[in-house]
Amino acid sequence: MPQRRPASPEPIGASPVVADISVVVAAWSLDAKGNIEACMDALAAQTVAAREAILVIDHNGELAAWARGRFADATVLENVHERGVVGGRNTGLEAASGAVVAFTDDDAAPEPGWIAGLAEAFEDDAVVGVGGALDPDWEGAEPRWLPSEFYWVFGCSYRGLPTEKAPIRNAIGANMAVRREAIKAVGGLAAGVAPRELKLGGKVLSAGHALDDTSLGIRIKAAFPDTHWVYQPSARVRHKVAPGRTTLRYFLIRNFEEGEGKAALAAAVGSESGLEAERRHLLVTVPLGFLRGFGELLRGDAYGPLRSLALVAGIGAAGAGYVLASLRNRAARPQTSSGRA
């Protein structure tokens, strides 16, 4: 990965323009070596080079040793904080020197114009953070029953996000960039909910902290109210989707977990901030998607009604998680005495 360009003059076109953006890549599994290589190769092929690439290995000494030998042009670090993506990203943040820190994961491969798209969005001084598009890179068959309104369950952009550059509440962590001074001012990333693992057949499909990116967006906006986050569709990343993440079981578990997490987030920051985007998604995007599914049946797509039913199931699972977590939170609150002195 190219480092900062030397100050000495060079002929035009001799090397790519360098943006003052540090890129942090989180990795954890020995099984993901091929994905890590694809991600780092994609960073090296950017039309606008980053200031530096920082690869953070999550408590895996063997993988860290391999990475140091494989990526001589990158800074390879081991996570010095708690296990999981939050600790890994914070480790990279502490080492970053760019004015902006961009985050992606080992199962994601940025398109060549990714850094250029992020840099363009930060030309507006009022922009504190940027989220880019995450396109699914299916490792198995595309799940035609799964509605695009729920692509967030495997970390991809979903129907309901803007189609052009526009303000958003928060970015998705696998394609997120933020001004370094701002994220450091709020103490870095924080766990949105307790760490978890989702497994299928004994294999970990998803791990770490959910809602850390949502929490970050809300905390930075609260600390810097005159700034805003934007969605930048031109900053694209391809995000691998393993077959295990396209099953109905995984879909329902992730929605239930999301509901639990949103209850915890609403308790921490208030429902107005914690559920603002979700309320709009539930009241506008989901009903339109439900009607669209049955309309697609009339146009010959037999999977249309299945997508409509999946929308209902996903909302039901998320709602159940939210209600149960809210009841647990309420029961756990200390009771105050209302008796007279």
Domain assignment present for 335: no
Residues 123 and 223 reside in one and the same domain = yes
Q: How do 176-179 and 100-105 pair as beta strands?
A: antiparallel
Residues 56 and 130 reside in one and the same domain = yes
Residues 187 and 296 reside in one and the same domain = no
Spatial distance between the Cα atoms of 155 and 206, rounded to a whole number of angstroms: 10
CATH (domain of 121): 3.90.550.10
Residues 238 and 257 reside in one and the same domain = no
Domain assignment present for 336: no
Domain assignment present for 12: no
Residues 83 and 175 reside in one and the same domain = yes
| 232 beta partners | 132
Residues 254 and 187 reside in one and the same domain = no
Residues 273 and 170 reside in one and the same domain = no
Q: What is the DSSP letter of 145?
A: T
What domain range includes position 310? Answer: 247-330
Domain assignment present for 316: yes
Domain assignment present for 275: yes
Going residue by residue through the chain, which has 341 residues, state the pLDDT in tens, using 9 for 90 and above: 444 333 333 333 334 678 999 999 999 999 999 999 999 999 999 999 999 999 999 999 999 999 999 999 999 999 999 998 999 999 999 999 999 999 999 999 999 999 999 999 999 999 999 999 999 999 999 999 999 999 999 999 999 999 999 999 999 999 999 999 999 999 999 865 555 554 455 544 444 445 789 889 999 999 999 999 999 999 999 999 999 999 999 999 999 998 988 888 777 766 565 566 667 777 778 888 899 998 998 999 999 999 999 999 999 999 999 999 999 888 877 654 444 33
Residues 157 and 271 reside in one and the same domain = no
Locate all alpha helices (DSSP H) within the chain, ordered by sequence.
33-44, 61-70, 85-95, 114-121, 180-185, 212-223, 248-269, 271-274, 276-280, 286-298, 304-332
Domain assignment present for 340: no
Residues 131 and 269 reside in one and the same domain = no
Nearest by Cα to 103 from 161, 172, 8, 195: 172
Nearest by Cα to 14 from 6, 26, 23: 6
Total domain count, the chain: 2
What is the pTM (predicted TM-score) of this model? 0.85
Domain assignment present for 1: no
Contact 111, 215 (CB under 8 A): no
Residues 177 and 231 reside in one and the same domain = yes
Residues 91 and 48 reside in one and the same domain = yes
